[in-house]
Amino acid sequence: MTRVNTMGSLEETCASLRAQISATEEQLAGLKRDLASAEAHSVCENQSDEQRWPLLQEEYKRYGRQMIVSQIGLQGQLKLRSAKVLLVGAGGLGCPAAQYLAGAGVGTIGLIDGDTVEVSNLHRQVLHRTANVGKYKVDSAIESLRDLNPHPTYIAHRTHLTPNEAPAIFQDYDIILDCTDNPATRYLISDTAVLCGKPLVSASALRTEGQLMVLNNPLEHQGTRPEDHVIDAVVSCADGGIIGPVVGTMGVLQALEAIKVITTPEPAEGTTRPRDPPSLHIFSAYSSPLVRTIRLRSRRANCAVCSAEATVSLDTIRSGSTDYVFFCGSANLPSLLSPEERISAREYNQRQSVPSESHTVIDVRDEAQFGICSLENSINIPISTVLASNSARPTEQAAQLPSWVPSELATDSTHPIYVVCRLGNDSQIVVKKMKDLGLDQHGKRFIGDIRGGFKSWKDQVDPEWPEY
């Protein structure tokens, strides 16, 4: 009897919920009809206003504080509204840049990025939210931008920029912002912008420093490839680290430079803009002054893109014959050690659990990373310290060894030495360095690295190991 009553109660609950859903759907349909009617009425009113005023009444309120600045004015605001800006990258640089361009009233904002939002992005990529982890970055960013300003047209390119597609995409925009941290993509962006005649605002950021420059503005100043001026670090934010406000500052400066390019009045008829060469602005968060400016040389007479001897064209870019990945070098570091000189994280864990097998673990991450997490009894020797030491092979006397070599290693002991880092690249370098110093005693002592570093340690041994 109790079971019958329970089943009856569940059926009543389901019926009640269905009725509520039906009523809610009917109410939603009514609201949609009301919204469509209100929007149609608003369009009619706006069309009437536009006959008298070039901006909507809401736009005057929204951009008023900006328009009363003499460098902008009404004409500058109209230029912003008609401008089309493409941001390549919707990460640490692209988020603040897009945010301020949307706030300023740029009419069309395109975002191109094939990545999805990760938790590790959130401390610096300010358009993304925790709820959007897993979404395409461009979709997450546009969602926030629409909340900020519904007036611009937002275009999502859910892909990584490719040579085949880059020229066609760039042609639809007036100005390009390079918000990437990939050297090969930077060359692709630079060359395509030059050949398409588009001004380019390029920035980079790593750790506590950033760099910024504007190229192809005015367009007669084409040239200045990244190969001439190092504007990006080979190390990405994921590997080298970054303080959020540093990359945010560079992204905001990109937006500012783009606004300047868009709103700067055209020179009077018969005159030209000043032909000063571009400048490289270097930001350093822990230095005084915060910003230094370096004047860059003009384009080279034999520039591969914009000179009479040019070897790069839109056709070579589209066809793929200009291989940017090959030109910049492979992103995957080759293995420096033989398989016999490396062990897996799982194998090391098994060895270190045997009490009778004494050994030494050298952690070559920097001090900050070592402070986040480390293996018990490991010794921290940052790779920067190792590389800064004299590379010459010493004599057999321990006193001749570099100062970074711990005293317990400068003995005749044959206890093995294991070297570990974050991803398994730096550890290989240090293993070779230690062998060059003769610490392996001509092969009597094993010196090797833990393959894959702490990433493999988390995957194979300790799933609770902090991931940063």
Alpha carbon of 256 to those of 104, 111, 246, 284, 432: distances in Å? 10, 17, 15, 18, 47
Q: Is 181 annotated as a binding residue?
A: yes
Q: Give the whole-angstrom CA distance, residue 160 versus residue 321.
A: 18
Q: Is 120 annotated as a binding residue?
A: yes
Q: State the SS3 of the chain.
A: CHHHHHHHHHHHHHHHHHHHHHHHHHHHHHHHHHHHHHHHHHHHHHHHHHCCCCCCHHHHHHHHHHHCCCCCHHHHHHHHHHCEEEEECCCCCHHHHHHHHHHHCCCEEEEECCCECCHHHCCCCCCCCHHHCCCEHHHHHHHHHHHHCCCCEEEEECCCCCCCCHHHHHHCCCEEEECCCCHHHHHHHHHHHHHHCCCEEEEEEEECEEEEEEECCCHHHCCCCCCCCCCCCCCCHHHHCECHHHHHHHHHHHHHHHHHHHHCCCCCCCCCCCCCCCEEEEEECCCCCCEEEEECCCCCCCCCCCCCCCCCCHHHHHHCCCCHHHHHCCCCCCCCCCHHHEECHHHHHHHHCCCCCCCEEEECCCHHHHHHCCCCCCEECCHHHHHHCCCCCCCCCHHHCCCCCCHHHCCCCCCCEEEECCCCCHHHHHHHHHHHCCCCCCCCCCEEEECCHHHHHHHHCCCCCCCC
Alpha carbon of 302 to those of 282, 310, 466: distances in Å? 27, 7, 50
Is 421 an annotated catalytic residue?
yes
Residue 323 buriedness (CB in 10 A; 0-12 / 13-18 / 19+): exposed
Q: Is 44 annotated as a binding residue?
A: no
Q: Is 182 annotated as a binding residue?
A: yes
Is 95 an annotated catalytic residue?
no
Q: Is 121 annotated as a binding residue?
A: yes
Q: Is 323 annotated as a binding residue?
A: no
Q: Is 306 annotated as a binding residue?
A: yes
Q: Is 377 annotated as a binding residue?
A: no
Catalytic residue among 95, 179, 328, 421: 421
Catalytic residue among 196, 237, 328, 373: 237
Q: Is 179 annotated as a binding residue?
A: no
Q: Is 61 annotated as a binding residue?
A: no
List residues forming the annotated binding site for ATP.
92, 113, 120-124, 137, 181-182
List residues forming the annotated binding site.
92, 113, 120-124, 137, 181-182, 303, 306
Active site residues: 237, 421
List residues forming the annotated binding site for Zn(2+).
303, 306
